[in-house]
């Protein structure tokens, strides 16, 4: 079972990208996928959207995955491996989680997966606004990523190059992909995310 951890601030477009990734896995690659959706609060917002897609969802509630329910996350991962054993497990983290912290928890349990990759989605239209208001959070979300996807480039306009340069200063040589999930993701995006070698 290979694990993809998707993080990114609220409204960055994680759900849209995850749905396209899941369809690519099931329809093109002919492999199986399970999704863990992680929400703060008592009722998940996106689980109805996922349920309508025919993809199995395991919502986790009760707080931020990176601090309050990490043991539940590991339990859920084990349960999915033991009962469904999909080729891929996609974990959508809450918009307030730090993907690198969650990855550390998952990577402590190497026996439950064959490969693990952290993908952070950035809202290309709001990067500088969010950085100005919440710099420690949004910087920490991208700095420990294996891949950064800058989404909503249709809303970013000419500023997208400044966003790429700013994120490049944080992540160094980590791959940065540019897209708009309102359209079909490019083959290059799929290939980079699925490349776990």
Q: How confident is the model at residue 189 (pLDDT cuts 50, 70, 90)?
A: very high
- Give the start-to-end residue ranges of the domains of the chain: 2-194
Radius of gyration, alpha carbons of the chain:
16
pLDDT at position 25 over 80: yes
Residues of the chain with pLDDT > 70, as a percent, come to 82
DSSP per-residue string spanning 33-84: EEEEEB-SSSS-SSHHHHHHTT--B--B-SS-TTTTSHHHHHHHHHHHHHHT
Tokens of 102: 């969650």
What pLDDT was estimated at residue 47? Answer: 57
Separation between Cα atoms, residue 135 and residue 160, nearest integer Å: 18
pLDDT digits (tens, 9 = 90+) for 107-124: 888 788 899 999 999 999
Angstrom distances, CA of residue 3 to CA of 33, 157, 176? 10, 33, 19
Q: How is domain 2-194 classified at the CATH fold level?
A: Rossmann fold (3.40.50)
What pLDDT was estimated at residue 15? Answer: 85
**Average pLDDT of every residue of the chain:** 82
What pLDDT was estimated at residue 59? Answer: 56
């Amino acid at each position: 079972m290979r694990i993809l951890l998707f993080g990114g601030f609220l409204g960055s477009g994680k759900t849209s990208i995850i749905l396209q990734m899941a369809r690519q896995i099931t329809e093109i690659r002919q492999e199986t996928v399970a999704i863990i959706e992680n929400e703060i609060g008592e009722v998940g917002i996106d689980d109805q959207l996922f349920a309508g897609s025919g993809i199995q969802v395991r919502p986790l509630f009760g707080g931020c995955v990176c601090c309050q329910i990490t043991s539940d996350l590991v339990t859920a991962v084990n349960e999915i491996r033991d009962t469904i054993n999909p080729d891929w497990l996609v974990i959508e983290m809450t918009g307030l989680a730090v993907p690198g912290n969650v990855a550390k928890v998952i990577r402590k349990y190497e026996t439950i997966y064959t490969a693990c990759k952290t993908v952070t989605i950035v809202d290309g239209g709001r990067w500088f606004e969010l950085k100005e208001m919440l710099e420690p959070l949004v910087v920490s979300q991208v700095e420990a990523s294996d891949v950064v996807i800058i989404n909503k480039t249709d809303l970013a306009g000419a500023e997208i190059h400044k966003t790429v340069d700013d994120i490049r200063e944080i992540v160094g040589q980590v791959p940065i992909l540019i897209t708009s999930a309102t359209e079909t993701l490019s083959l290059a995006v799929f290939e980079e995310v699925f490349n776990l070698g």
